[in-house]
Each structure stands twice: as C-alpha cells, then as structure tokens.
Chains A and B, each alone.
Chain A
Amino acid sequence: MTSTTADPVRPKATRSLDLKSRRAARRRDAAQLWGKTALLGVILLWCLFPFFWLIMTSLKQGDRALNSPNLFQGPFGFQNYLAVFQQNFHLNLRNSFVVAGTTTILCVVIGTLCAYAIARLPMKGKVLLLSGVLAVSLFPPVALVPPLYELWRSLGLLNTWEGLYIPYTAFTLPLTVFILTAFFSSIPRDLEEAAKIDGATPFQAFFKIVLPLASPGVFAAAIIIFVQAWNEFLLASTFAPRHPEIAQTVPVAIAYFTGAVEYQRPIGTITAACVVVTIPMIIMALIFQKRIVSGLIAGSVKG
C-alpha cells in the first residue's frame, strides 16, 4: 500500500543532475517489464491454451472439422454436447456430485473434530497419531484395490455410491487433518480461555468460539476435498466401472466413452464432456482462488 503512493519529493537541483541516469534506468525498467510480461504470457499460455484447444475442438462438427489440426476449421455447433447428454452424462454428473459431496461432508465433520483435538486438546500419543495420519497419506490407493474389491463384492458395495465415498473419505482424511490442524493452530488461544473462564464447557468453547473462527479454513479444506473426490479415477473405475444410472462417475465415463467404431475414441463427444466438467471447476477455482491456495499450502499437499 505504502510503496505505490509515495513519489519522493526532491530538491530541484538533484533532480536535474541525475536526469540522464534516471532516463537510462527508466528505459532499462521498461525493457525488463516487457521481458517479464512476455514470460508471464508463457505461463498463461501454458495453463490456458490446452483448455482453449479443448473448447474449440468440442465445438467442431463433422469428421472433416474434427480430424483437422486447424483449430478454426469449421463448421461449428453444439452437436457434440447433445451427443454427450444422449449418453446419460447427466447421470454421471449426478453420481459424481453425490459421491464427492458426501465425501466432503464426512471428511469435514470427522476431520474437523480430529484436527481440533490434535491442535488444542490434551491427549496422549499425539505424535503417534500424527505419524499414523502421515503414513496413511503416503499409502498408495492401489494397495486397497484387491482387498476392498473382494470385501465390497461380498458386502454388495460394488457399483454403489457408498462403495466409493467410504474409501474416498478415508483417503482424504489425512489431508483434511493437516489443513485444519494448521488453521486451528493459527487461532489465538485466549478466546477459548476467556470462554472457559466465563463458564463454557470445552465442547462449547470449541463449537461456539473456535469453529466459527475456523470456518474459512474449513471451507478451504472442503473445496480441496471436493476437487480431489470429483477427480478420482482408480477406485471409481475399479469399483463402479459401468452403468451411469447406478454409480459410474464422471472421470470413468470420460475415460471410456466409446464411439460408433470400436477402438476409435469419439473426439467430439469426449472433448465436449471434458468442457462440461471443467468449466464449473474452473469457475469455482477462480472464485475461491485465495482460499484454495491457502488451504493447499496449509496442507502442503498432494495434487
């Protein structure tokens, strides 16, 4: 704030003296600014261009346009999007929404309690618990695939929402605990102490004082959990590989869309489905950018 406003006022004599050198410096600054802006363009291109390609391709109609490397080879239209929803993609969206949403709620509730206990409450074996949480965060999910598949088969949980959000919750819990422990630790302790002196029970101190203060952190954690659960593919494709009307999620549908000819991927349908899924995610990322970044850094973190 302060740096932008102040233009130092100097005596006129010195000003004219170093006018030449200042002009040179300004020219150098301008060159540097251009260089930086160009490099910035590289980052923007890196992050956004593939997405632009995706949108352009999804809007193309007919084989000739779709098979052309030229981005602007028409004709354009929304045919691919109609094809996507004829393949029950709205049901995939529903499944993903339910699974990711339930995972988020479960994770936030369970993780908040655990993180608060770790950050604030006296407990034996905290280091052990944290080590356990860290170990689970290092688990390769594929280690669960054979045993859980057999277990889910005997419990009838294959091709169900529960079969997905239960393991998702277990796997995202460590991340949630990391993020929220960091947020709880950053809240000043005096508030709870004051509440306790005023006669609040430990639970009331948590629920009425600390939790509202931690809500930005909880929200950040919730977004990150949702994104991760929404994007998960390995367990989803193993436990619910088919049937959009039951539990097949969006990533599985996108990975295994089939066209008219077998072994040929329908580029139009797939890119259109990709755009449908990605646009809400990108809008969410842009709106909640600051929260997401702070959450990711607090959990510091898997991607």
Chain B
Amino acid sequence: MVRATVTPDSGDASQAPVSQNDQPTDRGSPPPRLRQGLSERALGRLFVSPSILLMALVALFPVIWAFVLSLQLYNRRQPQGFGGFQNYLEALTMPRFWDSIQFTFLFTVTSVTAEFVIGMGFALLMNQSFRGRGVTRAAILVPWVIPTVVAAQMWFFMFNITPGFINNLLGLENFNWLGQRGWATFAVVFADVWKTAPFVALLLLAGLQTIPGDVYESARVDGAGPFARFWHITLPLLRPAILVALLFRTVEALRVYDLPQVMTRGAFDTESLSMLVQQYVVRTPDPGFGAALSTLTFVLILGIGLIFVRLLGRDLVIGTEGSRR
C-alpha cells in the first residue's frame, strides 16, 4: 500500500491545469461526457468521500458519543444528570471488570501463542512439495469459513459431559471440562486455536513462498542443519508476514465474544471484556455505565493495536504488500 502512496503520478501534466479551479465542485452530478471529464483530483475526492463519510458516521461518531454518554448517570435508562467520571470510577473498582480483563488477556496470550506454533508447523509442512498438497490447502479453509458460533456449539458438545465425545476419546469418565475454572478457559482457547491456527498457517505459508529456494540450498551446502536453517533463514525472512499476522490476530483475540458467550455464557471466569460491555447494554441496561466500560475497552484495545503498529512501523504496510507474490 505504501508503494501505492509513494508513487502518485505527480508527473502527469494533464491533471495539473484542470484540477483546482475548473470543476472540482460538481460532486453529485454524474460524470459528464466531455473529453476532459472530471479531473483526477476531483474524481479522487468524489471516490473517497463515501468511505470517509460512512466510517466517520458509523465508527468515529459513536465512539465519541459513547464518551459523552459515559459521563451521564442513568437509572434503568432514566437519565439522572451529569456524573463526571463517576461511571469510570465505578467500573475501575469493580472486581468483575478486572476478572474480565484477566480472562481476555489470558485468552489472547495463550490462544495467539498456540496458533502461531501450530500454524507455523502446518505452514512449514505445506510448503514442502508432495502429493495431496492441493487437498490440504482446500481443507485448511474449512475452519476459517465456518461461523464462529457453529465452531463454538460444536466444541461445546464435544467437551460436554453428554454426549461426552472427548471424555470417551481420552478415556475419562465424567470429566466436566466446561463446568470448572481453568478447564473452561482451556476449552474456549482450544476451540479458538482449532478455528484460527489453519488461518495463521495460510498467512505464514504465503510468506514462506516468497523465500527463494536457493537461499536454503546454499545454507545446506554450508552445512546448516534443518533447525539452523529455520532459525537463521526462515524466521528472519518471514518477519514481516509474522508481524502482520500477529497484529491482526492479537487485536482479534482481544475482542473475543462469540466463543465464550456460546460455550460457557461467561461462567467459570470466562467472561471477556466484550461480553461484559454487552451485558450492560441489553440485559442490565445502563447506557452510561455500559458506555464507560466500552470506552475503556476501546482505549485498551486500540491502544494495544497502535503500540503494535508503532513497533512495526512501515514493516506493517510494506509487509502487506511484500507478501503478495
């Protein structure tokens, strides 16, 4: 993408004289059939404006409005006046809030780590040439395309005591995976890893395929073993692909809602931040408090995302481009 921005056709003479003065204002009208038509600059502004408008109205404005709401006090949807930062104080002193933060972070760290380890294994395997590769590449899309809710119900029933499929497989009698602290979290993480590890593998595989084979060949000639080759060639060259996948996976995992909501309904310390916020919107409606929680969540997740972007710098955007063939 950066490549696209760095090379705008500033050298194009035809747009320069027309652009600013002649007809930049006729935004709403259909493109005229004149030879010159809309200038490129006007066309650019016209093309970009619906996107900006939509994102500003449906994403940016609600976030600002949530902050305004969060300063109001409510009693069952009845406004009780301005409350300053009282809602935030209440949220930050609520143990349930910290419990949900703890679960969300635990979930994110464990599931993203496991996904990358397993995904890397899958990708390295699929990068070798042998029969059945095409089938595997098709199969690997299956967990991605399945709705998360379906995956959640599926793993709920597999872990559940009845019919007890996993207990039967492991020779356990009536082990209650979903009904106790710790193992409930494990089950949720497991379901997420099942769904997302193949997806991570797909992204890493794309990165692997950009590494030229002769690099490995010369390393082998120099006497590097498989592990050394992985550590000194694959990992460094895969860095952009890994970082981009890591950023998006982390931000995704921090938003987790579907899996714990369906598998445990938040019981046994598996309530995520997203679930907590949703709770205060519909089931125990308190728009002010809910908005305070959502603003805190927003700042936290966007903040972590932006720290990532900062750390990656241009790697991120160039990496996206570079991994494309």
Known: A111-B51, A201-B37, A284-B145. A39 touches B194 (CB 8 A): no
Are A46 and B194 in touch, CB under 8 angstroms? Answer: yes
Question: Is B62 an interface position by the 8 A CB rule?
Answer: yes
B280: which of A134, A146, A294 is its contact (CB, 8 Å)?
A146
Nearest chain A residue, comparing its CB with the CB of B309: A134
Contact present for A203 and B51 (CB under 8 Å): no
Contact of A251 with B by CB under 8 A: yes
What is the interface size of chain A, counting residues whose CB is below 8 A from a CB of the partner?
Answer: 115
Q: A140-B254, A278-B146 are in contact. Are A40 and B132 (CB under 8 A)?
A: yes
- Quick one: given A69-B163, A116-B47, A177-B51, are A146 and B136 in contact (CB under 8 Å)? no
Q: State in angstroms the CA–CA spacing of A178 and B2 once bound together.
A: 11
Interface residues of A: mostly helix, strand, loop or mixed?
Answer: helix
- Assess A145 versus B281: contact at CB under 8 Å? Given A53-B165, A57-B163, A113-B50: yes
Residues of chain B within 8 A of A170, CB atoms compared: 54-55, 57-59
Stretch of A5-13, A17-25, A76-84, A179-187 contacting B (4+ beta carbons < 8 Å): A179-187
List CB contacts (< 8 Å) of A101-149 with chain B.
110-111, 113-114, 116-123, 126-127, 129-130, 132-136, 138-149
- Bound together, the chains give a CA A231 to CA B44 distance in angstroms of 33
Counting CB contacts under 8 A, is A194 at the interface?
Answer: no
Query: Which residues of B sit under 8 angstroms from A110, Cβ to Cβ?
Result: 50-51, 54
B169 contact set on A, CB distance < 8 A = 69
Which 3 pairs across A and B sit closest by C-beta, in order of nearness? A201-B37, A121-B44, A170-B58
Residues in chain A within 8 A of chain B (CB atoms)? 33, 36-37, 39-40, 43-44, 46-48, 50-51, 53-54, 57, 66-71, 110-111, 113-114, 116-123, 126-127, 129-130, 132-136, 138-151, 166-167, 169-171, 173-174, 177-178, 181-182, 184-186, 189, 196, 199, 201-204, 206, 227, 230-231, 233-234, 237-238, 241, 250-252, 254-255, 265, 267, 270-271, 274, 277-278, 281-282, 284-286, 289, 292-294, 296-303
* Chain B residues within CB distance 8 Å of chain A: 1, 3-5, 8-10, 12, 14-15, 19, 31, 34-41, 43-48, 50-52, 54-55, 57-60, 62-63, 65-66, 69, 122, 125-126, 128, 130-133, 135-158, 162-165, 167-169, 194-199, 202-203, 206, 241, 244-245, 248-249, 251-252, 254-255, 257-258, 261-262, 273-274, 277-278, 280-282, 287, 290-291, 293-295, 297-298, 301-302, 305-306, 309, 317, 319-321, 323-324
